[in-house]
Amino acid sequence: MSLQSEQINELMGALAKAQGEMVHAKKDSQNPHFKSSFADLASVWQACREPLAKNGLAVSQTLDLAGERQVLITTLGHSSGQWIKSMIALPIQRPGPQELGSSLTYCRRYALAAIVGVYQDDDDAEVAQAPYRQPAPPPAVSLTDAQKGQIDEWVKEFPEGREWLLKTYSLESIHDLPGDKFKFVASIFKKKKEEKEKTV
């Protein structure tokens, strides 16, 4: 199954603008079993709906089957017709509508947050993953000196990029950008440079 349209340049440009306007999803729901708070699906939508719509972007989430597993397909589409998709198998441990509903809601908000870039810091994954706990995520990778230098060059050429990086990734310094985000950020600045060169 294809996970993106042949071209995504217009979509990524629009997404970059939308991300610059997005706010963090608020942790306004409680998981009483684990005594933790998390950002629910409504909070994630609230954080991104208006910026997406303003920039010609829309998200749809549908269910499908992959063999015997139910999967959630999340599609981010642009008014140009360009699109990208993600797929995730629902972590259903026991059959039944309650288990399905819990797993679906859990996957919908994580898939939505991931595909549009909304930051949410919550620890209620145990609800959908019971009876086992997910392993701890790998340690964050820092930028190399070369990558830091490249970011400095980008924001020097595109000053608005500094504020976008700081706001989108909640950074105190642009050099604090997680290393695993560098490739995506590079694609955004590459697109901006191409657009700039076309107007010259």
CA distance 20 to 102: 31
Do 116 and 150 lie in a common domain?
no
- Whether residue 190 is contained in a domain is answered as yes
Do 114 and 169 lie in a common domain?
no
Give pLDDT tens digits for 116-162. 998 765 544 444 444 445 556 666 788 999 999 999 999 999 999 99
Note whether 106 and 44 are within 8 A (CB): no
Is the confidence at residue 36, as pLDDT, over 60? Answer: no
- Whether residue 137 is contained in a domain is answered as no
- Whether residue 136 is contained in a domain is answered as no
Number of domain units in the chain: 2
CA 72 to chain centroid: 15
Which residues is 83 bridged to in the sheet?
77
Is the confidence at residue 1, as pLDDT, over 50? Answer: yes
35: left (phi over 0), alpha (psi -120 to 50) or beta: left
- Whether residue 49 is contained in a domain is answered as yes
- Whether residue 1 is contained in a domain is answered as no
Structural domain of 86: 9-129
- Whether residue 135 is contained in a domain is answered as no
| Domain final residue, candidates 129, 157, 177 | 129
- Whether residue 4 is contained in a domain is answered as no
Do 183 and 125 lie in a common domain?
no
Q: Looking at residues 4-32, what average pLDDT do you find?
A: 83
Do 13 and 55 lie in a common domain?
yes
Do 97 and 149 lie in a common domain?
no
Mean pLDDT of the chain: 83
Do 124 and 172 lie in a common domain?
no
Residue 68 banded pLDDT, cuts 50, 70, 90: confident
Question: By three-state DSSP, how is residue 76 classified?
Answer: strand
Please give the structure tokens belonging to residue 25. Answer: 């999803």
Do 23 and 115 lie in a common domain?
yes
| Domain final residue, candidates 129, 162, 189 | 129
Cis? peptide before 131, omega within 30° of 0: yes
pTM, two decimals, is 0.54
Do 159 and 120 lie in a common domain?
no
CA distance 73 to 63: 6
- Whether residue 161 is contained in a domain is answered as yes
